[in-house]
Amino acid sequence: MKVMLVGATGLVGGHVLRQLLDDPRCDAVVAPTRRPLDTTDAALLNPVVDFAQLPAEADWWAVDAVICALGTTIKLAGSKEAFARVDHDFPLAVAQRARARGAHAFALNSAMGADAGSRIFYNQVKGRLEQDLRALGYPSLTLVRPGLIGGERAERRTGEHLASLVLGVLGPVLPRAWRINPAGIIAAALVEAALVPTPGVRIVGSADLVAR
């Protein structure tokens, strides 16, 4: 299979990229990024793009499946509007272009609490993206909804770091849905959803993303 990955430079996306390149079921990976990746592999195509002006007619849109791990925070984006562009507009534009070229499966790294009707802006944006992806008619759509993601990020997220420390201590006594979701496990769920697509819409919740 030929798989597109957006968000390859992030924590979860980095795990996805390594897993795809190591998986014999995946023949090629297309990973558009804003800056070139350090990874070199014969199976990797790495177009450097401006996500605000994606080329509609590029040949590399022709893939079997798409994995989206693109995302930021309101603080890092600088405003609610900028956050919505990265976490809603850019993934939706990718999904539309890939679907138009024949992609039949889409796997999204969303968030626990994603709900278009939520009063929490972050969850609302995630929910709107899920809603809009459903309308594109992908034969297989997998919505992976992790809670707190475990792993070392390139950038420091203080609140997330503190929450990780607390949940790391309390983890054994917490319900599975509240425990830390390791980035590698989230990535594995996304990869499996792309390479072995399930017909229809499937939701993978945080309780399914806990280390065994």
CA pair distance 120, 204, nearest whole angstrom: 21
pTM of the model: 0.88
Work out the burial of residue 194: count CB atoms within 10 Å of its CB; fewer than 13 is exposed, 13-18 middle, 19 or more buried: buried
CA distances from 143 to 60, 113, 155 (A): 24, 12, 25
Q: Is the pLDDT of residue 154 over 90?
A: no
Tokens 């401006």 sit at which residue?
50
Inter-residue contact 184 to 150 (CB < 8 Å): no
3-state secondary structure 5-40: EECCCCHHHHHHHHHHHHCCCCCEEECCECCCCCCC
- Nearest-5° Cα angle at 23, 64 to 189: 75
DSSP helix/strand/coil, 200:
strand
For the annotated catalytic residues, the residue numbers are 122, 126
| Per-residue pLDDT band at 31 (split at 50, 70, 90) | very high
Sheet strand arrangement including 44-45: 44-45, 28-30, 2-6, 65-68, 105-109, 140-145, 200-205
Give pLDDT tens digits for 167-204: 454 445 545 554 688 999 999 999 999 999 999 999 99
SS3 57: coil
pLDDT tens digit sequence for 17-26: 999 999 999 9
The pLDDT of residue 138 is 98
Specify the residue for token string 């405003």: 79
Residue 151 has pLDDT above 80, yes or no: no
**Phi/psi at 165 (nearest 5 deg)?**
-65, -45
DSSP letter for each residue of 117-186: T-SSHHHHHHHHHHHHHHTTT-SEEEEEE-SSEES--SS--HHHHHHHHHHHHHGGGS-GGGS-EEHHHH
